[in-house]
């Protein structure tokens, strides 16, 4: 059993105790000392999916043809990246969640429920229209027009005859990302559904964007959770080893 799996199971046991009216102190020395020893002996760095940065996303999008599958995948990739959507958030989007911004700058998207909003208060995020070949707003409009989607789920399944079905599952997001990575000549094992979200944060940091602006877009509950992507993005942007005349 992996150390991370053990941690998740212990957390579930603690929640079960609380629901039953009992207390389980996970910080008790008898538990903490054992866990520390296990991590020291068997722990390893958690494997993270590679971030799909701007260049990677453009390479993936470049594999999408103008048929329904290509238009759907193109919209999924650009939408998922531009607003750093979690997989569940992305597949839950509906036409009714969209509104054109009054200034003409793009779309306002309402996320009804997410990992960071368990009570369902809703969050509104913006998708900027870029006017480029990889504009997420234009990609979404092209997919909707071709698929005839006027209400209901935005991203939908397609059967082998090209018939439009119901909304995609969150697992389908990862499959699309992996398939497009492979067609683009990349190693599909490096990427997952989370790669789009991680890629936006990493790319934004690499471009020197403000931490608070990145957090607003990704909707991370704390900067600490966002920091690993920012560190990756800034790894070479301000690297002293390349600036000392070596």
Average pLDDT over residues 122-137: 89
The model's pTM: 0.74
Identify the structural domains of the chain with CATH numbers, from first to last: 3-42 (no CATH), 54-199 (1.10.443.10)
Q: Does position 42 have pLDDT exceeding 80, yes or no?
A: no
The answer to whether residue 45 scores a pLDDT higher than 60 is no
175 is written with which tokens? 């499959």
Average of per-residue pLDDT across 222-239: 67
145-186 pLDDT, tens digit per residue, is: 999 999 999 999 999 888 999 999 999 999 999 999 999 999
pLDDT, tens digit, 9 for 90 and up, residues 82-102: 988 999 999 999 999 999 887
Q: DSSP letters along 41-104, please?
A: HH--PPP-PPP--HHHHHHHHTT--SSHHHHHHHHHHHHHHHTT--HHHHHH-BGGGEEE-TTS
The chain-wide mean pLDDT, for the chain, equals 84
Q: Tell me how far apart the alpha carbons of residues 64 and 79 are, in angstroms, rounded to a whole number.
A: 14
Q: Which residues does the annotation mark as catalytic?
A: 86, 115, 194, 197, 220, 229
């Amino acid at each position: 059993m992996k150390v991370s799996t053990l941690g998740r199971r212990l957390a579930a046991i603690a929640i079960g105790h609380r629901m039953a009216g009992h207390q389980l102190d996970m910080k008790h020395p008898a538990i903490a000392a054992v866990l520390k020893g296990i991590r020291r002996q068997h722990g390893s760095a958690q494997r993270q999916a590679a971030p799909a940065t701007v260049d990677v996303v453009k390479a993936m999008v470049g594999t999408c043809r103008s048929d329904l599958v290509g238009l759907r995948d193109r919209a999924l990739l650009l939408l998922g990246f531009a607003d750093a959507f979690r997989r569940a958030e992305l597949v839950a989007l509906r036409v009714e969640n969209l509104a054109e911004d009054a200034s003409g700058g793009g779309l306002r998207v309402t996320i009804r429920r997410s990992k960071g909003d368990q009570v369902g208060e809703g969050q509104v995020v913006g998708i900027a229209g870029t006017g480029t070949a990889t504009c997420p707003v234009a990609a979404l409009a092209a997919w909707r027009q071709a698929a005839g989607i006027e209400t209901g789920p935005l991203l939908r399944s397609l059967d082998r005859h090209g018939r439009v079905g119901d909304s995609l599952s969150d697992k389908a997001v990862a499959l699309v990302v992996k398939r497009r990575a492979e067609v683009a000549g990349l190693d599909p094992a490096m990427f997952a559904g989370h790669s789009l979200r991680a890629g936006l944060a990493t790319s934004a940091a690499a471009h020197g964007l403000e931490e608070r602006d990145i957090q607003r877009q990704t909707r991370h509950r704390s900067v600490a959770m966002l920091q690993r992507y920012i560190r990756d993005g800034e790894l070479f942007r301000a690297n002293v080893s390349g600036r000392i005349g070596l």
